[in-house]
Amino acid sequence: MRHLLTLFDLTPTEVRTILATAVHLKRLLRDGHRPPILAGQTVGLLFEKPSLRTRVSFEAGMNQLGGGSLFLGEDVGWGKRESPADFTRVLGQFLDAVICRAKSHARVEELARFEAVPVINGLTDLSHPCQALADILTIGEVFSGDGEFDFANLTGRHVMFVGDGNNVARSLALHCAILGMPFTLACPDGYAIDDIWLERVRKAYPDAQLSRVEHPSDVIAEADVIYTDVWISMGQEAEAEQRRKIFAPYRVDQKLMSQAHKDACVLHCLPAVRGEEITQEVIDGPQSQIIRQAGNRMHAQKGLLVWLLASSWVSEHVR
């Protein structure tokens, strides 16, 4: 049984197959075709955290693929009314996969441990693999042009993440390592990606080009992608004022973007606090690909779902 808890669960070939499947399905949809590849299949969305993009993109994606989805909120009593073993094995009797959005990564690991149903990480404090898949799909489209996608146009594309070395930054750094893309984190001291994660990435991908700088101005001229995220994530509200002071020099604004080359694009995983980590003129500006990026959550996840639940269709239709 396969799970996607982090991108370490996939080989480089599998990552490319998932992205190629996403591209194929997106083209079909653009041409008005919605093949019912997952007809009769149902996924459960087990969420401890609120969501817009993750929930709607998975539900819409399953609908377009001919399948169904069930939203599982607090009323199902996860971790409260019965043992984790009973809860998970019962889900396996009803569902073809579970997408879990949890406060702790240990929670999704617990679900996967019982091998009762395929588990997809929809976001944890450690990792956000579905976001990273959508990010790379977007970057490939931006630099291929005309709504196309070519893996060759990812080669050497330098991604700079501005801000906290959080779950999104970790996942994107790993995805860049998988595909041979340089990744730089611009962050203040004490907010870098943890050494345990970086060592694991470098062990799996010895040629990974991962670096860290103190300020985005140090490398922005070399960056093809400028990526940022909120300074205060869910669960960090007590640190809000401290984080605002520390990250103030890391705002992606027009002054910073004036140092980037004209073809560089701006990404943000959303939701954004306009005027805090990114200014309104940048998020709505000509270099922003943020709305396309949000839309690609659905397309990337459709590719993942079909790869996970209908591998024979992928073998037959995706090249």
In the chain, the amino acid numbered 223 is A
Assessment of whether the complete model's pTM goes beyond 0.95? yes
Closest of 260, 165, 193 to residue 220, by C-alpha: 260
Q: Is the dihedral of CA 255, 260, 263, 265 positive or negative?
A: negative
pLDDT of residue 233: 83
pLDDT of residue 114: 96
- The helices-and-strands tally (H runs, E runs) of the chain is 12, 9
CA distances from 205 to 43, 98, 210, 274 (A): 32, 29, 11, 36
Catalytic residue selected from 101, 170, 175, 251: 101
Examine the residue annotation and report whether 297 is marked as an active-site residue of this protein: yes
* CA–CA gap between residue 273 and residue 279 (Å, rounded): 9
pLDDT of residue 5: 98
pLDDT of residue 147: 81
Catalytic residue selected from 100, 164, 229, 243: 229
pLDDT of residue 20: 98
Give bridge partners of residue 120 from the DSSP assignment: 4, 99
Examine the residue annotation and report whether 101 is marked as an active-site residue of this protein: yes
Catalytic residue selected from 135, 251, 269, 293: 269
Q: Is the dihedral of CA 123, 208, 203, 215 positive or negative?
A: negative
State whether residue 293 is helix, strand or coil: helix
pLDDT of residue 74: 85
* CA–CA gap between residue 263 and residue 203 (Å, rounded): 33
* CA–CA gap between residue 225 and residue 154 (Å, rounded): 11
Examine the residue annotation and report whether 131 is marked as an active-site residue of this protein: yes
Stretches in the chain below the pLDDT threshold 70: none
In the chain, the amino acid numbered 282 is V
Q: ∠ at Cα 152 (290, 162), nearest 5°?
A: 35
Structural domains of the chain in order of their starting residue, each with its CATH number: 7-127+297-317 (3.40.50.1370), 129-294 (3.40.50.1370)
* CA–CA gap between residue 283 and residue 114 (Å, rounded): 42
Catalytic residue selected from 3, 128, 158, 268: 128
Catalytic residue selected from 131, 289, 293, 301: 131
Token output for 184: 């730089």
* CA–CA gap between residue 129 and residue 63 (Å, rounded): 22
Examine the residue annotation and report whether 89 is marked as an active-site residue of this protein: no
* CA–CA gap between residue 308 and residue 43 (Å, rounded): 12
Closest of 210, 40, 230, 43 to residue 128, by C-alpha: 230
Examine the residue annotation and report whether 157 is marked as an active-site residue of this protein: no
